[in-house]
A and B are shown apart, each in its own frame.
Chain A
């Protein structure tokens, strides 16, 4: 009797979940499994739907491909530089924003603007700012030479210069969202904690380190996790700055490599693309797990 009732109610629950499960299954879970299978099918041909055998050849090829290694290196540099920097700067700006009164709304809007502008358009602007051509050095180079430095072509020049622009651009693009999240997190900290700290004679720095930071730590953690994932999946930023031939520019990312393997000039290799995608997935999973482990000690819910 009771068992029947339970079965009924759980059936009802599944019924409610059905639309979501259906769509997630078809558009998320199935492709994921498919990609996983592709990555083991050697020499898969999408036109004839045939393959030679099953094994680790795709992985071995990808891992020995200098373009992939280049993309891997670029992605890691991008992640390691932009995630901490963008989060840190966003935190500074948010703290500044929440401590001013006048023009607060104006500044909040200004800082949020990049979020609603098109990435490619912003990329174009960055390119114009940083590019050095036969006719013009660009605004940034103008400033560098004005301060007594040598003009560098940031778009077609040395590796470090291109990487600098890519990081700069990425930080600039991801910042608004982080500022938005952090300002609202800061605003949600109960004023009484600050009053209590003031009565106890707590210095500004100590109040920030011992009270504010722990209080908003869940939000910071959320931003770091999503920041890592977002940076690992970076692609459009590089395209916006350096065009579609990223391998030639030495500026490819892992997602860019996957795209090239599928549709690029040298494309048409879904198996290699799948293997690279699975590798990226494994990396993101590992980093996220490490983040979760670290957060257990330092994040206070």
Chain B
């Protein structure tokens, strides 16, 4: 089922009612989510991603804009008539009911012609349980399960009615690091098997990048960029997106363009085509640095961290916006830790420049 969001806007009344001020949680969101894809809504806390999810679920009514599931306009439908499955951040499993009864709960609500017989219900509940691999836990109570198992039960409960759209609110935030890795693979597998269009919310970029077909990066209610994870990473639309994606994060420098040359501080790091003279932000991905004795960028070396597969070189530069410049280089390169400085040359595809005021990307070709 494809999901279309049209000019979706949600305003909340501000704290001071007299002033008639509004907090805009979601601002003019347009997006067509293709059928059967896994979409990650990504952004820092307070960016409106959960509000967007609640608008799609129907728990919140949009201030303006429309929501379509396929061809149906569901904007005015209550949540129960939209055909959605929703997994809450804290799972919201009913603690007094067994796993089986929790999964059966949505089915028992069906009325009229949709009403199922007892055996049909059980069959569906077991099918959902099989899908998330919790069949042997059916008679336990949620309190007797681990976090990961509870998560699976919550997903099974959301899936048992075969929803048109599955929504997950911060599905992994309550799990420890190892379970998180495992569970995100699990979500991916379940989504592939069921082919249900799935939208999940997260503040963890790694989580979103690793399993989503597409990611939507949001900030302060406004969509910053939509695209495949790799595309967004390789081609950030603005400084915010560039900073938000990637671990370690991108290194940002104060720089300027003068006569078709790009400067970081006083170092001329590259030639550049198609950009007028101006002050800019220069973003360099950690993997964009290549140690080079004759390289143009000179940094003061403060440490080298060996991580097995690669080496992380920590250095400082007076034009850097953060106290440390982090670069990741492969172990084939050697960095002389005795020296006080380290020189880098830069990989053109890993360097982005942004407007100093608007922080929008400036498209220019590095040479």
Contact = CB atoms under 8 A, between A and B. Distances in A.
A99 interface: no
* Interface majority SS (helix, strand, loop, mixed), chain A: helix
Contacts, number: 54
B109 A195 contact: no
Interface of A: 190, 192-193, 195-196, 198-203, 206, 210-211, 214-215, 217, 300
Interface string B112-127: 0000000000000000
Contact of A192 (B57, B58, B84, B90): B90
A190 B90 CA distance: 10
A202 B109 contact: yes
Contacts of A203: 109
A42 to B, nearest CB: 53
Contact of B79 (A190, A192, A199): A199
A193 B90 CA distance: 10
B232 interface: no
Nearest to B169: A192
Contact of B57 (A199, A214, A217): A199
A206 B95 CA distance: 16
A12 to B, nearest CB: 35
B106 A201 contact: yes
| Central interface residue in B89, B94, B110, by most chain A CB within 10 Å | B94
B59 interface: yes
B84 A199 contact: yes
Interface residues of B, number: 23
Given A196-B86, A201-B109, 5 more contacts: A190-B92, A195-B59, A200-B105, A210-B94, A215-B96
Interface string B79-105: 111001110111010111100000001
A201 to B, nearest CB: 3
B79 A193 contact: no
Contact of A300 (B57, B59, B96, B105): B96
* Interface majority SS (helix, strand, loop, mixed), chain B: loop
A215 B96 CA distance: 8
A201 B110 CA distance: 8
A300 B94 CA distance: 11
Nearest to A201: B80
A202 to B, nearest CB: 5
Contact of A199 (B86, B96, B97): B86
B89 to A, nearest CB: 8
Given A192-B88, A206-B109, A199 B94 contact: no
Contacts of B110: 201
Contact of B80 (A198, A206, A214, A215): A198
Contacts of B106: 200-201
26 contacts: A190-B90, A192-B88, A192-B89, A192-B92, A195-B92, A196-B88, A198-B59, A198-B78, A198-B79, A198-B80, A199-B57, A199-B58, A199-B84, A200-B80, A200-B109, A201-B79, A201-B81, A201-B106, A201-B109, A201-B110, A202-B80, A202-B109, A206-B109, A215-B95, A217-B96, A300-B95
B108 to A, nearest CB: 8
A214 B106 CA distance: 17
Nearest to B57: A199
| Central interface residue in B85, B95, B96, B106, by most chain A CB within 10 Å | B96
Contacts of B57: 199
A200 B105 CA distance: 8
Contacts of B105: 200, 202, 210
Nearest to A215: B96
Given A199-B59, A203-B109, A214 B96 contact: yes
Contacts of B79: 198-199, 201
A196 B92 contact: yes
Interface string B161-173: 1000000000000
A200 B78 CA distance: 11
